[in-house]
Amino acid sequence: MKYLNELLNFNKSSSNFQALHLNINSILNYLYEVNEILNSKKFDFVCFSETKLDETIPNTFFKNNHYNKIRLDRTRHGGGLLVFIKYGLSVTKTILVDELELIYTQFKINSQRFNFVYCYRPPNTKEKDILDKLDDFIHTLNLSEPLFIFGDLNMNYDPKITSNITYFCTSNDLINFIHKPTRVCSKYYKKTNKTKTTSTLIDLLLHNGNLIEETDVIPCPFSDHNFVVASLLIKKPNETYKTIKCRNLCQSNQLEICSQIKKANFKSLQSLKTIEEKWHFVKGEILNVIDRIAPERIVKIKKSSYFPWYDDELIKLKHLKDSAYKRSKRTLDQNDKDIYEYYNKLFKDYNDQKLIEYFKDKSLNDFKNSKKFWEFYSSKINIKSDKSEKNPISHIKLDGQVFDNKNELSNVFNCFFTSISSSSDSTLDASMEFIERVIPISEVKKENNFKFSLTNSNETNELLSDVQSSSAQESLHVKENHDNNELNPKTHSHTQPQPQPQLHVKKLQS
């Protein structure tokens, strides 16, 4: 592939931080090409705009063993950003801004912080409005730190002409380091029988310092935009690998270990007096046999798309599970299959435990871009209500079904509260008689202010914001009171009390 060779040859001798951007115009059509670029491990920061993904595409639609990914969707018909960050880079902060179509990441490399803003401006939006919002956003950052703004802004940059984008750069002390056209478009006109070609520089790299070593624009055969690549004067951290200690405990080694333990000399055990001495002796003899037959070795773990709750113990269990699976498939031995099933169950249980520990202190904001993930794990994890949210209720779980659509939420609330009724066996006449006896009509203050009125979504949202989220069902019981004197100290009655209505109100799980 010519384009791939050109990408690999870009600043080939440099070992510095390198970045790539492309307006890919629907990533689902070019997953093979994307995978080729990522597998080369050439670039540390790989960005694609106009991915055209939405929530119907699961986050697992694409996986690469060398990169983490950050995703911001719009619709299947336009927009969307996808950022790949190479493993080993320390990301200290990430912000996703829907209205700007912007992904912000902060890296910490060799004790220095670097701010990267990746964004896309749809052509049907006003340039000034987007630039004003972008200006507001970058001024929330520490501008004394290096700042890089990358992406397709759909504004032709010409330093000789005063425009919205040149004014934005000048007012923020930013320099554009891309100098070649990034989009070349040809159009055939039938009337004149001529083809006109236009070229624009709309994919930019803006920077507030002097950390750009080299940039280039490379033709892309599968998009109407070109690749934009850059080498930055940032020394990449050395790639690190996780290691674990393990032994080769295959079936033949296990049989040999058992055989050698049977032959071991444990006669001197009788001369030892304390239980600790006896235990250390037995343990030492067994370990000597194991070390001789299956010595401990250090294994380097390949990079993979581990989740943030994966610790060393979980990674080790995964390695043992995978190794046991390969062995059982190779030998077709029942004992090896049992070992695999043991490690598989152990891994699943421990993974659930670590996952719950990781997410139990997270707020609802942590899940706003992981809808499918939240739906799957909502039954396991208690989420603290987020005080910053105007409406903390994102979903309701009722009768085993999750409702997260606003219309569905409204229907659930309406059906629930309109169906509330008394569970008392008392007749209406008995209830009225009880009320009149306990609360005389003369003591009831007449109020004429009560009335029914139409409401709106804003008022409903304000009311819902006062309802605290709860993962457990609670019941409120107003139970019958068998002592009328306790109900109303002013009432003295010697008659047998009538059964009182009992009200049961059950709080919805949210």
pLDDT tens digits for 76-93? Answer: 678 899 999 998 898 999
Q: Of the candidates 235, 253, 286, which is a domain's last residue?
A: 235
pLDDT of residue 409: 76
pLDDT of residue 293: 93
Give a yes or no: residue 360 inside a domain. no
Least confident among 57-61, 349-353, 402-406, 490-494:
490-494
How far apart CA 319 and CA 2 sit, in angstroms, is 38
Cβ proximity of 72 and 151 under 8 Å:
no
What pLDDT is stored for residue 102 in this prediction? 96
Q: What is the 3-state secondary structure (H, E, C) of 428-484?
A: HHHHHHHHHHHCCHHHCCCCCCCCCCCCCHHHHHHHHHCCCCCCCCCEEEECCCCCH
Please state the domain count of the chain.
Answer: 3
Q: What is the pLDDT of residue 482?
A: 43
Q: Are residues 215 and 298 in the same domain?
A: no
Same domain, 17 and 161: yes
State the residue for tokens 């910490």.
108
Does 290 lie in the same domain as 178?
no
Q: Is residue 335 part of a domain?
A: no
Same-domain status, 66 and 184: yes
Q: What is the rounded CA–CA span in Å between residue 20 and residue 216?
A: 10
- Among 44, 22, 27, CA closest to 120: 22
Range scoring the smallest mean pLDDT among 27-41, 286-300, 330-344: 330-344
Q: Find out whether 426 and 503 touch, Cβ atoms under 8 Å.
A: no
Q: Are 143 and 77 part of one and the same domain?
A: yes
Interatomic CA distance for residues 194 and 10, integer angstroms:
35
Residue 295 has pLDDT above 70, yes or no: yes
> Hey, what long-range contacts does 167-175 have (CB within 8 A, 24 or more apart)?
168/131, 168/134, 168/135, 169/206, 171/135, 172/135, 172/138, 172/208, 173/208, 174/147, 174/149, 174/206, 174/207, 174/208, 175/206, 175/207, 175/208
User: Does residue 216 belong to any structural domain of this protein?
Assistant: yes
- What residue type is 322 in one-letter code? D
The two structure tokens encoding residue 396:
């309701």
Q: Is there a domain that residue 356 lies in? A: no
Residue 329 inside a domain? The answer is: no
Residue 483 in this model has a pLDDT that exceeds 70: no
Has residue 153 been placed in a domain? yes
- At 368 the pLDDT is 43
Q: Are residues 40 and 161 in the same domain?
A: yes
At 501, the amino acid letter reads P
Instruction: Give the residue-averaged pLDDT of 419-445.
Output: 74
Q: Which residue has the tokens 């304000």?
A: 462
Indicate the residue among 303, 332, 351 that finishes a domain: 303
Could you tell me if residue 45 is inside a domain? yes
Q: How confident is the model at residue 439 (pLDDT cuts 50, 70, 90)?
A: confident
Question: Does residue 7 sit in the same domain as residue 150?
Answer: yes
Residues 87 and 110 in one domain: yes
In this structure, the answer to whether residues 484 and 392 fall within a common structural domain is yes
| DSSP type of residue 267 | G
* Domain shared by 166 and 278, yes or no: no
**Does 54 score more than 70 pLDDT?**
yes
- The 10s digit of each residue's pLDDT in 334-391 is 888 888 888 888 888 887 787 777 666 655 445 444 454 555 455 455 544 444 444 4
Pairing status of strand 475-478 against strand 503-506: antiparallel
What is the CATH number for 70?
A: 3.60.10.10
The rounded distance, in Å, linking the Cα atoms of 380 and 397 is 12
Kindly report which listed range (49-53, 77-81, 169-173, 500-504) carries the lowest average pLDDT score: 500-504
One domain for residues 110 and 230: yes
Q: Could you tell me if residue 311 is inside a domain?
A: no
Same domain? 271 vs 406: no
The domain in which residue 252 lies consists of 242-303
pTM: 0.53
The string of pLDDT tens digits covering residues 450-477 is 666 677 667 777 776 665 444 334 433 4
Highest mean pLDDT among 285-289, 331-335, 448-452, 461-465: 285-289
Please say which residue of 281, 303, 325 terminates a domain.
Answer: 303
